[in-house]
Every structure is written in C-alpha cells, then in structure tokens.
C-alpha cells in the first residue's frame, strides 16, 4: 500500500532524530580527530629533563707580595683542590719556584696559608687572589733533625778519643782519665742516639719544610756548644766533681730517668697523633713516667731540661751549665707557645696545669 504522506509532527520527529544522529556522528568524529592529535603529539606530560651538574672551576691569580705585579693565573682549579695542588700547578707555570719554596698569603702581611687548606674555603668569587713570597731554600724536617743531632754525636767522639790535633799527645798519655769522663761520653751519646732514633721511628712529620737558614743556625748552636763542652770534659787536665762518686752516681741516675721519661712522653704524643684521637688532652697511663701529664702540659720539655741539668751536675763544668741555662730559656718559650694552643683546644683539661715546670712556668 501506498503510505500516506507524513504529517508535519511526524516530519519534526524525523528531523529531530536525524539531527541527533548527525550530532552523534560529528562528536564521534571530533573525538577521533582529537585522539589522533594527542597520539601524534606524544605524552600529555613531558618526561623530566635530566639536569647535568656543572663543575665550577676557580681561577687563582698569584701576585708578587712586594710589587703586587701579576706573576701568573692558575686556571681550572676544582673546588676540591688544596693549596698544595695550586702550588704544584704554579710550579708547572714557573719551574723556578718549587712547591716547598712558595709561600702564599691572602693579604700581603698576613700569615702563610697551610698546604692542607681547601681552595673553596678561600673563595669569595670565581677568582681568588693570593700573594706570593719566596721562602728561600727549604729542607725537610727529617733532614733538619738528622743533621742537627748527628753532628754533636760525631763531634763529641772526636774529642773523646783525644786527637793529637786537639790536645797535647804527651800530656794525654800521662794523665789518667776519671771514670766520669767515660760516663759523660756514654750519656751524651745516648742522648743524641735517642733523638736520632725517635726522629726516624717515633716522630711523624707531615711533609713540611723549613728554611735552610734555620738548619744552619740550629747546627751552629748545637755543634758549637758540643765542641766547647767536649773540649773541657775530655781535656787531660779535667778535674772530677767536688763530691766525688756520690755526686756522679746521683746525677747519672737522674739523667737516665729523664731520658727514659722523655722517650715515653714522645711515644705517648706520637701514638695520640697516629690514632687521630685529638679530641682530648693526652692522659697518664700505667707508665709512671707519663704521670707528669697531671702537672704540666709539655712534660717532654721538662724531662729534656732535667737531662741537661743532671749532666751539668754530673760533669760540673761551666760550658754545660751555660748550655743548660740557654736550653731552659728556649724550651720555656716553646712550652708557653704550646700551652696557649692547648688552652684553646683543651681548656677544661689544661687550665690548671703549668706549661713546663709546676708553679714556676
């Protein structure tokens, strides 16, 4: 049958239905196009960008300490470098200045910086300015002490054997040697042999250096006084102490005790430095020679001057007495300097101690 023509209401329904179908078709197509756009664009959220750490380098400008003229610029210095690394690079740029001879300062009249200082701790900006000073010819501390202590040992033995070029040979053969002369030679050699062995096996030096002129002054002092002391004690006309064997025996016993105490104190200080436990002051142990730590902060100097005072009493000679007096002055100055450092680091433990001699120093 032929259908009847549709009514206007029916047409409206068809139009609405067709419009809905077309709208849904357009939405589907739009979503499809949007999804294709997203897929072609990649991820909605970009992946994190890897940040590469940039290493900061410093430039060290080295100026002459007197004229303020620029000597060189050490570039590309890493932040972890020490001042010793800068000195090595400076040595490559200026071969005539080897590291131990270079003294670097932040200010012209300021203190010399230590080799262990980190270069980053000195930096205010990327350019660091340091002032250079020539420290002169340098020698290592081990060489310094070995040279200083070997001389007195050999010089004293030359006087002890009474060379004909020093004493009259006829007078030397006639006069009898008092036992204190042999004992003095033994004690003097023991003292410097102990120093040499401790320099080689006990004391540990951190690779530091000292000017050559200091070694010359030290050798002149020790070698000169040793010659003067040995000349009088080993002279054919030498007279023994006034109180005889009693004075010699008591003084020799005190000398040996001071030598033993000095050795054990040096071992205790070296053991503390090797172990790295620098948070507290060295405390006495079961060894009675270390009990002096209860009274003084530098007992090694106390035992050292005790040795020379005992040697003076044992030989009863003026040159030894003058040498002992000068040693007391020098070591009291060293002890006061160390005591001030100990007060800064170990104040509660050191504040009631003396520097070298109780009550006096």
- Mean pLDDT across the stretch 82-110? 90
Model pLDDT, residue 49: 45
* 176 is a domain residue: yes
* Higher-scoring residue by pLDDT: 99, 24: 99
266's tokens: 């040096």
Highest mean pLDDT among 49-63, 247-261, 265-279: 247-261
CB 154 within 8 A of CB 164: no
260 plus 356 within the same structural domain = yes
Domain extent at residue 98 = 58-136
308 plus 262 within the same structural domain = yes
Out of 17-26, 116-125, 272-281, least confident range: 17-26
pLDDT of 13 above 90: no
CATH number, position 118: 3.10.20.90
163 plus 229 within the same structural domain = yes
* 28 is a domain residue: no
Task: Read off the pLDDT band of 30 (50, 70, 90).
Answer: low
110 plus 154 within the same structural domain = no
- How far is Cα 7 from Cα 106, in angstroms, rounded to an integer? 105
- Mean pLDDT across the stretch 42-60? 57
- How far is Cα 309 from Cα 317, in angstroms, rounded to an integer? 11
CB 141 within 8 A of CB 115: no
Model pLDDT, residue 249: 97
How many domains, in total, are found in the chain?
3
- Mean pLDDT across the stretch 167-184? 89
CB 151 within 8 A of CB 226: yes
pLDDT of 166 above 80: yes
Mean pLDDT, all residues of the chain = 84
pLDDT of 52 above 60: no
pLDDT of 39 above 70: no
Model pLDDT, residue 204: 84
71 plus 175 within the same structural domain = no
264 plus 346 within the same structural domain = yes
pLDDT of 149 above 90: yes
227 plus 264 within the same structural domain = no
157 plus 229 within the same structural domain = yes
pLDDT of 22 above 80: no
246 plus 212 within the same structural domain = no
Other Cβ atoms within 10 Å of 299 Cβ, number:
28
pLDDT of 180 above 50: yes
180 plus 285 within the same structural domain = no
Other Cβ atoms within 10 Å of 118 Cβ, number:
13
* 17 is a domain residue: no
Model pLDDT, residue 15: 47
* 39 is a domain residue: no
Nearest by Cα to 324 from 335, 313, 333: 313
Nearest by Cα to 282 from 231, 334, 350: 350
- Mean pLDDT across the stretch 7-28? 49
Model pLDDT, residue 163: 87
304 plus 245 within the same structural domain = yes
* 97 is a domain residue: yes
* 269 is a domain residue: yes
SS (H, E, C) the chain: CCCCCCCHHHHHHHHHHHHHHHHHHHHHHHHHHHHHHHHHHCCCCCCCCCCCCCCCCEEEEEEECCCCCEEEEEEEECCCCEHHHHHHHHHHHCCCCCHHHEEEECCCCCCCCCCCCEHHHHCCCCEEEEEEEECCCEEEHHHHHHHHHHHHHHHHHHHHCCCCCCCCHHHHHHCCCCHHHHHHHHHHHHHHHHHHHHHHHCCCCCCCEEEHHHHHHHHHHHHHHHHHHHHHHCCCCCCCCCCHHHHHHHHHHHHHHHHHHHHHHHHHHHHHHHHCCCCCCCCCCCCHHHHHHHCECCHHHHHHHHHHHHHHHHHCCHHHHHHHHHHHHHHHHHHHHHHHHHHHHCHHHHCCCECCCCCCC
Q: Which pTM value belongs to this model? A: 0.77
Model pLDDT, residue 48: 46
Model pLDDT, residue 341: 87
Q: CB-based contacts of 20: which residues, under 8 Å, 6+ apart?
A: none
223 plus 288 within the same structural domain = no
Task: Read off the pLDDT band of 123 (50, 70, 90).
Answer: confident
* 108 is a domain residue: yes
Where a domain ends, among 94, 119, 136?
A: 136
* 293 is a domain residue: yes
Cα 323 to chain center, whole Å? 30
- Mean pLDDT across the stretch 212-232? 96
Model pLDDT, residue 175: 79
Model pLDDT, residue 261: 97
Where a domain ends, among 87, 115, 136?
A: 136
């Amino acid at each position: 049958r032929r259908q009847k023509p549709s009514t206007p209401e029916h047409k409206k329904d068809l139009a609405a239905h067709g419009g809905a179908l077309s709208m849904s078709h357009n939405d589907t197509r739009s979503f499809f196009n949007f999804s294709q756009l997203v897929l072609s664009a990649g991820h909605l959220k970009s992946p994190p960008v890897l940040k590469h750490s940039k290493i900061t380098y410093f430039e060290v400008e080295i100026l002459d300490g007197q004229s303020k003229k620029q000597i060189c610029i050490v570039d590309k210095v890493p932040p972890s470098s020490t001042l010793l690394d800068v000195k090595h690079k400076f040595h490559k740029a200026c071969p005539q200045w080897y590291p131990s001879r270079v003294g670097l300062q932040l200010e012209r009249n300021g203190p010399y910086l230590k080799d262990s200082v980190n270069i980053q701790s000195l930096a205010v900006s990327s350019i660091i300015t340091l002032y250079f000073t020539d420290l002169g010819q340098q020698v290592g501390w081990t060489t310094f002490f070995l040279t200083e202590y070997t001389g007195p040992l050999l010089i004293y033995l030359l006087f002890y054997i009474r060379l004909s070029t020093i004493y009259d040979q006829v007078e030397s053969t006639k006069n009898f040697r008092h036992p204190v002369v042999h004992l003095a030679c033994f004690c003097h050699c023991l003292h410097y042999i102990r120093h040499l062995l401790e320099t080689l096996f006990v004391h540990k030096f951190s690779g530091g250096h000292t000017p050559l002129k200091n070694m010359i002054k030290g050798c002149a002092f020790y070698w000169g006084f040793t010659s003067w002391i040995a000349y009088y004690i080993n002279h054919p006309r030498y007279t023994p102490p006034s109180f005889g064997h009693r004075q010699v025996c008591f003084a020799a016993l005190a000398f040996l005790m001071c030598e033993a105490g000095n050795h054990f104190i040096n071992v205790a200080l070296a053991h503390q430095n090797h172990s790295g436990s620098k948070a507290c002051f060295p405390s006495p142990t079961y060894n009675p020679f270390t009990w002096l730590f209860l009274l003084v902060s530098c007992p090694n100097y106390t035992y050292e001057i005790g040795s020379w005072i005992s040697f003076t009493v044992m030989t009863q000679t003026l040159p030894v007495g003058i040498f002992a007096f000068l040693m007391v002055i020098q070591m009291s100055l060293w002890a006061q300097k160390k005591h001030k450092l100990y007060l800064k680091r170990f104040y509660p433990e050191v504040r009631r101690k003396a520097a070298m001699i109780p009550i006096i120093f």
